[in-house]
């Protein structure tokens, strides 16, 4: 018979080992990608030949690289603003209010999550093609933004909804009892307490939009975003400039995630202060 302590130790060892294998499986491709960006070889081969920063310079010498970055940044920024606003409004309506056809509202809200990105992009391309022939416009960055907002908003809604669900509405009641009007309650109580969830939703929306390929490729027309730039280059052959580009993408992503985590901890600390004083 295996003792209870030995059984617990075996379970802990199995769980820790599984987690370690998962982390190794997840991070080895990332580490390998970063290593490839510093190779001196023109092809991606193992073992890596030499060490060089030349591919970073080669990346910036590509004439269509910076315009693609600018397009992606503009699309991601605008999509994030609209998706976060719509997601926040939808989360508040979803959690705090009861109204007719609420189940239908939830179904419509989550419908884009059920569609594969490729299918969503094709469907929206067909829709914009018909509408464009009727109204006389063509696909471009504007249609990409609309497609990204449709795709990203449900994710933002879910993230903000978690924050709204844990919101203590008695704080708003206390502010009203103290004489605050509706706008003052929202500005001084509701928004600051929901802000960590809103900011996290905005970060997630920005990263989803920044790296989206299928919707962008379907709706961009002749415009090029960063994922389309990468796809166009890889389609004609691999090159170390793309691992270099991926490495550069890690930097702003890590900064945004770190800011989101810092804001979340500060919000938790601020919310725990009244109970600590009591």
**Average pLDDT per 10 consecutive residues for the chain, totaling 278 residues:** 66 78 77 75 69 78 86 93 91 78 74 79 85 78 90 89 76 74 74 81 89 87 85 71 79 75 67 49
> What pLDDT, on the 0 to 100 scale, is given for residue 278?
42
pLDDT at 275 (0 to 100): 45
Task: Count Cα atoms within 13 angstroms, Cβ side, for 229.
Answer: 23
Cα→Cα distances 136→126, 206, 229, Å: 15, 30, 27
pLDDT of residue 85: 92
- List C-alpha distances in Å: 71 to 79, 184, 217, 239, 250: 12, 38, 13, 23, 19
Position 77 scores a pLDDT of 93
Rounded distance between C-alpha atoms, residue 278 and residue 268, angstroms: 16
Contact between 39 and 169 under an 8 Å Cβ cutoff? The reply is: no
pLDDT of residue 271: 56
Which CATH superfamily, name and number, covers 54-277?
MetI-like (1.10.3720.10)
Residue 45: burial class (beta carbons within 10 Å; 0-12, 13-18, 19+): exposed
What integer pLDDT is reported at residue 237 of this predicted model? 63
């Amino acid at each position: 018979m295996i003792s209870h302590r030995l059984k617990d130790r075996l379970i802990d060892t199995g769980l820790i080992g599984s987690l370690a294998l998962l982390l190794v499986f997840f991070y080895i491709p990332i580490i390998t990608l970063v290593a490839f960006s510093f190779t001196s070889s023109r092809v991606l081969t193992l073992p890596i030949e030499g060490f060089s920063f030349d591919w970073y310079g080669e990346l910036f010498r590509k004439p269509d690289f910076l315009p693609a970055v600018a397009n992606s940044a503009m699309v991601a920024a605008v999509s994030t603003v609209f998706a976060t606003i719509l997601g926040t409004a939808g989360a508040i309506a979803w959690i705090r209010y009861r109204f007719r056809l609420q189940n239908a509202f939830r179904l419509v809200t989550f419908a884009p999550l059920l569609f594969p990105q490729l299918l969503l992009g094709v469907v929206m391309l067909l829709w914009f093609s018909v509408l464009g022939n009727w109204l006389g416009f063509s696909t471009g960055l504007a249609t990409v933004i609309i497609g990204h907002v449709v795709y990203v908003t449900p994710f933002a809604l879910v993230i903000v909804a978690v924050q709204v669900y844990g919101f203590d509405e008695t704080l708003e009641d206390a502010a009203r009892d103290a004489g605050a009007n509706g706008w003052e309650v929202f500005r001084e109580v509701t928004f600051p307490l929901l802000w960590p969830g809103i900011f996290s939703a905005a970060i997630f929306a920005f990263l989803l939009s920044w790296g989206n390929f299928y919707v962008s490729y379907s709706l961009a027309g002749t415009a090029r975003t960063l994922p389309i730039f990468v796809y166009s280059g890889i389609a004609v052959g691999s090159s170390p400039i793309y691992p270099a580009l991926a490495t550069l993408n890690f930097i702003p992503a890590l900064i945004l995630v770190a800011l989101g985590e810092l804001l979340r901890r500060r919000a938790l600390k601020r919310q725990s202060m009244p109970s600590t004083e009591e």
